[in-house]
Amino acid sequence: MTSIDTDNGFQPALIVVDMQEDFCPPNPLGVQGGRDLVPLINEIIQYPGFVVRVATQDFHPATHISFASNHPAPNNNPFESHIQMTNPAVVGSDPTATIAQRLWPAHCVQNTPGAEILPAIRMDKIDAVVKKGMDERVEMYSAFADAFGNRDCKATGGASADLEAILREKGVTDVFVVGLAGDYCVKHTAIDAAERGFKTFVIEEGVKCVDAVSGWQEAKVELAARGVKVVGLDGLEVGRVKVGI
């Protein structure tokens, strides 16, 4: 784990994850309550303490490997079926590695209305947008790396920008994460932020999950095990960015 230079004290960033049309009802991958997060996330975006605010955006090609419609029947049922996904052989990683990939309805296809960030989100307050999942060969839940942990996603065309570089440029020490979905892209983005040495928090009221019943409880266990703290809006951590200290 890379350590962060804290000589500059508390330099917090906000990451707003995938607040997009296709992740909100009534779309096929809509997360229950996803749209209801907008007023709260807009409030958080405007907290004065953040030194940088970043939004992430799933931005898949129509041929993306995670889409059930891109695989033959009968093992291509959205939400239920899995395929074996192979590492896209990025230099410095194991090109023979495979992992199980859950299949989803087609979603957030590049340059379609479903990929758009919800128009009510205060994008005028956002400093940078990181498009991700642009490589058809591999899933990319985290905005820092693909599912195999490959970090050079900007260079390989999987992402539009290097999120870690954005945060380093601003001298960020702490990262706060909100958005969709808590049990997938929020979780993996937060874990990767902690892995890179940022003190990382997920604001509990600011997330909703794909698996509404068990997804968040399981995610919280994994987040805690990986060094991410789940905090509330009324907690001391969020209080610091509310007042800008």
The pLDDT value recorded for residue 212 is 78
Going by CATH, does the domain composed of 12-65+114-243 fall within 3.40.50.850?
A: yes
Closest CA to 109 of 27, 178, 43: 27
Confidence of residue 167 (pLDDT cuts 50, 70, 90): very high
Q: How confident is the prediction for the chain on average, in pLDDT?
A: 93
In whole angstroms, what is the distance from residue 150 CA to residue 135 CA?
A: 12
- For the segment 11-30, what is each residue's pLDDT rounded down to a tens digit? 999 999 999 999 999 998 99
Query: Which of these is catalytic: 22, 58, 132, 162?
Result: 132
Preceding peptide of 26 cis, ω within 30°:
yes
The pLDDT value recorded for residue 5 is 41
Query: Which of these is catalytic: 185, 187, 199, 208?
Result: 185
With 0-12 / 13-18 / 19 or more C-beta atoms within 10 angstroms meaning exposed / middle / buried, residue 161 is middle
Instruction: State the residue for tokens 């906000």.
Output: 14
The pLDDT value recorded for residue 91 is 60
Give percent of the chain above pLDDT 90.
87
Confidence of residue 158 (pLDDT cuts 50, 70, 90): very high
In whole angstroms, what is the distance from residue 229 CA to residue 209 CA?
A: 17
The pLDDT value recorded for residue 193 is 98
| Residue 132 is among the residues annotated as catalytic for this protein | yes
Say how many Å lie between the first and final Cα of the chain, rounded: 27
| Residue 125 is among the residues annotated as catalytic for this protein | no
Give this prediction's pTM.
Answer: 0.93
Q: How far is CA 42 from CA 116, 123, 128, 143, 178, in A?
A: 17, 9, 16, 20, 11
Secondary structure element (H or E) that encloses residue 71, with its range: none
Confidence of residue 7 (pLDDT cuts 50, 70, 90): very low
Confidence of residue 1 (pLDDT cuts 50, 70, 90): very low
| Residue 192 is among the residues annotated as catalytic for this protein | no
